[in-house]
Amino acid sequence: MSPRLKTASLPHKDAAFIEPMECLAVSKLPNTANWAWEIKIDGYRAIAVKSDRVNLYSRTKKSFNSKFPYIADALADLPSGTVVDGELVAIDENGRPNFNLLQNFRTGASRIQFYVFDLLCLNHRDTTKLPLIERRELLKTLAFKDKRIKIVDYVEAQPTELLSAVRTQHLEGIVGKRKDSLYQPGKRTGAWIKFRVTIAGRNSS
């Protein structure tokens, strides 16, 4: 079934900035199968809105278009009336996120990518009231010609195994999201959580 048919019964919504849903920091991971796991990415949270053109916003609704015009251009394949949530990330020569490179966005432009992990509006239809797993299935139907746009998928591993890999690769941590969670703009409900690893004797937070 096409995305347009799947969303036909959803409420109409104009494509506009939506305040990002937040993760709750935790010191212990839940022991349940109802969670999806992702690698925590060290970057700038961003909301992309496609109406007549693409507008890229920070979490506080400041425009990112002038800082990252090449990312806004790369998102041109978004259907009209679509809003996505993601993270602007700079990838170093070892394939790891590097926040310092991201801050030097002018000289490091070739290394900056946009990782899309949620779909908030599609074809002028509000998807925020769909469960996360359904939003992710719709998100997978989007395609981008520009390789700087990446669609994030779940990591198929137990949280403890994932944490071990994250520590080995010196990454920031992991994010867990309830598979049935709705998207709640600006909220930190505990339906999304983040766990930071300890690196070199101290917590990375």
Tell me, yes or no, whether 169 lies in a domain. Answer: yes
pLDDT of amino acid 201: 38
Which residues fall within 8 angstroms of residue 141, CB to CB, at 6 or more apart?
Answer: 2, 3
Which residues fall within 8 angstroms of residue 34, CB to CB, at 6 or more apart?
Answer: 178, 179, 180
Tell me, yes or no, whether 34 lies in a domain. Answer: yes
pLDDT of amino acid 109: 83
pLDDT of amino acid 200: 43
pLDDT of amino acid 96: 84
pLDDT one-digit tens code per residue, 16-72 = 999 999 999 999 888 778 999 999 988 999 999 999 899 999 999 999 999 999 999
Tell me, yes or no, whether 14 lies in a domain. Answer: no
Query: Over 60: is that where the pLDDT of 204 sits?
Result: no
Tell me, yes or no, whether 147 lies in a domain. Answer: yes
Tell me, yes or no, whether 1 lies in a domain. Answer: no
Mind telling me the catalytic residues?
40
Higher pLDDT, 23 or 164: 23
Q: Report the number of distinct structural domains present in the chain.
A: 1
Tell me, yes or no, whether 114 lies in a domain. Answer: yes
Angstrom distance (rounded) from CA 72 to CA 150 = 13
pLDDT of amino acid 198: 64
pLDDT of amino acid 42: 87
Tell me the backbone φ, ψ of residue 114, rounded to 5 degrees.
-120, 120
pLDDT, the chain, mean: 89
Tell me, yes or no, whether 3 lies in a domain. Answer: no
Tell me, yes or no, whether 151 lies in a domain. Answer: yes
Tell me which amino acid residue 29 is.
Answer: L
Higher pLDDT, 203 or 73: 73
Which residues fall within 8 angstroms of residue 105, CB to CB, at 6 or more apart?
Answer: 67, 68, 90, 112
97 pLDDT band, cuts 50/70/90, is confident
Q: Give the CATH number, domain containing residue 94.
A: 3.30.470.30
Range of the domain at 31: 19-203
Higher pLDDT, 157 or 121: 121
